């Protein structure tokens, strides 16, 4: 019997928890796929839609968005970290025009079990 790896409680890059220690890191498997069930807004045969919060490095504001994740970039309905990061980068680029600049993304959070979890950005 194979035992799944324990969820990580720290950033996979080895960084310590963010200043807001009440926001845990998103647990991931050894293959960099999300470990656990995310709280999707919509699930279709081709995409998963996940609510998310983007926070900017200059702390000017936060933006609640929906990430559209192609199922082809997921395994067993669970996205890889790179899939989450790419979807967030696409949204940052799209919102740059509205903001008048290309902001630096400081944090990406997604819901799991009714609670936001931080996604490691590097």
User: pLDDT: is 69 or 55 the higher one?
Assistant: 69
pLDDT of residue 40: 97
User: DSSP letters of the chain?
Assistant: -PPPPPPPSS-TTSPPPPS-TTSPBPPB-TTSBB-S-B--SEE-SSEEEEEEEEEETT-S-EEEEEEEEEGGGEETTEEBHHHHHHHHHHHHHHHHHHHTS-PPEEEEEEEETTEEEEEP--
For residue 110, the enclosing domain spans 42-119
8 Å CB contact between 118 and 85: no
Residue 99 domain flag: yes
Residue 37 domain flag: no
The pLDDT of residue 15 is above 50? no
Q: What is the pLDDT of residues 62-78, one digit of tens each?
A: 889 999 999 999 999 99
Residue 59 domain flag: yes
The pLDDT of residue 5 is above 70? no
Residue 6 domain flag: no
Q: Rounded to whole angstroms, how far apart are CA atoms 23 and 115? A: 8
Residue 103 domain flag: yes
Residue 4 domain flag: no
For residues 40, 7, 84 and 121, what is the CA-based torsion angle, rounded to 10 degrees?
140
CA 22 to chain centre: 16
pLDDT of residue 21: 61
pTM: 0.76
* The residue to which tokens 């944090």 are assigned: 107
Q: How many domains does the chain have?
A: 1
């Amino acid at each position: 019997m194979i035992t799944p790896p324990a969820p990580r409680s720290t950033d996979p890059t080895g960084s310590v928890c963010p200043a807001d220690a009440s926001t845990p890191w998103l647990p991931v498997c050894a293959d960099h796929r999300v470990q656990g069930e995310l709280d999707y807004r919509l699930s279709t045969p081709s995409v998963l839609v996940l609510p998310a919060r983007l926070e900017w490095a200059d702390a000017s504001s936060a933006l609640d968005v929906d990430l559209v994740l192609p199922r082809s970039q997921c395994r067993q309905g669970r996205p890889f970290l790179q899939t989450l990061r790419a979807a967030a980068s696409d949204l940052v680029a799209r919102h740059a025009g509205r903001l008048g600049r290309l902001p630096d993304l400081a944090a990406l959070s997604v819901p799991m079990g009714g609670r936001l979890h931080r996604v490691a950005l590097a």
